[in-house]
Structure 1
Amino acid sequence: MSSKKVVTVAVLVAVLTWSTVMTALGQVAAAAALLPSLGLLVQQIVQALTAPDGSRPPTEPGPTAVGGQEPPR
């Protein structure tokens, strides 16, 4: 596992631990306010961990990407 992945997992664990502690201390509103950003964090980390090192997820070319012209209508 690369050092980038280790740091990524450490950040995820720290954020999820903090959210759990806040909820246990009765700060449910604080944890609930962070749910959307926590969901995005988890999604990005999973994507980073499943993609090969140094690569980006494949994207489909748009209609102007092939040949620089729009398709006929």
Structure 2
Amino acid sequence: MNSRQVMTVAVLAAVLAWSTVMTVLGQLAAVAALLPSLGLLIQQIVSAFTGGGPGARAGRTPTGSEEL
């Protein structure tokens, strides 16, 4: 694993641990408010590990414009 992947896994582990602690302490409303952002976080991490999302193609920049 490269350093970027290690950092990504560390951030994911920290966020999930924090969510677990909040749930254990009875802060279900706080966890429910964070569920959409946790879902996006997991989606971004999966995308980073798999090399892009469903529309990713070689030769495309992150803004979607073609490279010359």
TM-score, normalised to structure 2's length? 0.76
Q: Which residue identity does 1:17 align to in structure 2? A: A
**Alignment RMSD, CA only?**
2.2
Where do 1:16-55 residues align within 5 Å? 16-51=16-51
Moved over 3 A (4+): none
Give the Cα–Cα distance (whole angstroms) in 2 for the partners of residues 43 and 19 of structure 1: 17
1:34 deviation in Å? 0.2
1:50 deviation in Å? 1.5
Q: Number of paired residues?
A: 57
> What percent identity do the matched residue pairs reach?
68
Where do 1:1-20 residues align within 5 Å? 1-20=1-20
- The structure with the largest alpha-carbon Rg is 1
Greater helix proportion = 2
Q: Structure 1: 5+ residue runs without aligned partners?
A: 60-64, 66-73
